[in-house]
Amino acid sequence: MPQALIRALQGEPQSPPPVWFMRQAGRYLPEYRAIRAKATFEQLLNDSDLAAEVTLQPIRRFPKLDGAIIFSDILVILDALGCGVTIPEGGPRLARTLDQIPLDQPLDERVFEPVQAALRTVKANLPPHVALLGFAGAPWTLLAYGLEGKGSKTWSRAKAFLHAEPAKAQAWLEKLADAAARLLNLHIGAGAQGVQLFDTWAGELDPEDYAAFGLPAVRRTLAQVSGAPRLFFARTGYLPQALEALPCEGLAVPWQVPIAEARARFPRMVLQGNLDPISLLAGKEIATAKARRIVEAMKGHPHIFNLGHGLTPETDPEVLGAVIDAVKGA
């Protein structure tokens, strides 16, 4: 029988729901910080044994977790296109932006070999009840980083590009969609049993621009992925109704949108989420009460408990453990 997480992604309501967390492998864990004290972020990405180890750390600490998401980064696609990505403490930096790279630049799939090896290692070492997840960045989010060359508060250069050069923007979005689909299929081929496409900066576009530029590229990506259930995460306070028609099985709901509202608006979709990560910083009592309300609101509907975005480095592992216990009814 498939694991609880996979059964949920196949549309089967679970009680209690399966649970995993975005960024569950990360700086909030002392065992992760011990490895990072000896290795850079890039070394973790490019050493398959280290990537596998940090993927497995939260599974060892929290044995009730139902999913393990491979340790990687959404910007590996830009690295494979020749952007020269580095990720120092201050955030990602690109040596070359996409406007300095020809549109016909081939994808160097050798960049993806470490994560494929890590997936195989993790798959061989996971407890039977834990499903393995892969992921990729969505085209608009990749284009935004690829044009800005680093993180941004406004993404003004990338947003302006959509209107200044719409044909070229669409061409890049299609190329990035194909690259993201290729990466997700490689993850599935290496053992991922489900995949998530992350559009972290979806909310930086207004609904009209996201409908014109972001969503068609997301649809193009997801339509090319096969062999495992697909989740899509658009980090935006407005969830476009058009998400209901995407070629995927599930939507990850950002914390800004009440999960009961998402349930009413997207009846076809498996829903994932959507505890505000910052509520974990408020302590066990508040975090567990909020978690229980989400579980209650989703009873009878296929649901995967998660956050509405990633775990923060300040999270206390004990509070996270208490939330897991609350979700699982302990």
Tens digits of residue pLDDT in 23-61: 999 999 999 999 999 999 999 999 999 999 999 999 999
Cis peptide before 16 (omega within 30 of 0): yes
The tens digit of pLDDT for each residue in 183-215 reads 999 999 999 999 999 999 999 999 999 999 999
Mean pLDDT of 1-12: 96
- Domain ranges in the chain? 4-327
235 is catalytic: no
73 is catalytic: yes
Q: What per-residue confidence (pLDDT) applies to 136?
A: 98
27 is catalytic: yes
User: pLDDT band for position 282 (50/70/90)?
Assistant: very high
47 is catalytic: no
Q: From the centroid of its chain, how far is CA 91?
A: 17
Mean pLDDT for the chain overall: 97
Mean pLDDT of 159-173: 97
d(CA 198, CA 137): 5
d(CA 330, CA 309): 24
Q: What is the DSSP letter of 39?
A: S
> CATH 3.20.20.210: does it fit domain 4-327?
yes
Q: What per-residue confidence (pLDDT) applies to 330?
A: 52
Nearest by Cα to 133 from 234, 265, 233: 233
d(CA 59, CA 208): 41
- Which residues contact residue 55 at a Cβ distance below 8 angstroms, ignoring those fewer than 6 apart? 25, 68, 69, 70, 71, 118, 122
d(CA 125, CA 291): 29
292 is catalytic: no
Mean pLDDT of 248-255: 98
CB distance 111 to 80 below 8 Å: yes
Residue of 28, 32, 73, 235 marked catalytic: 73
Q: What per-residue confidence (pLDDT) applies to 55?
A: 98
Q: Is 0.85 topped by the overall pTM?
A: yes
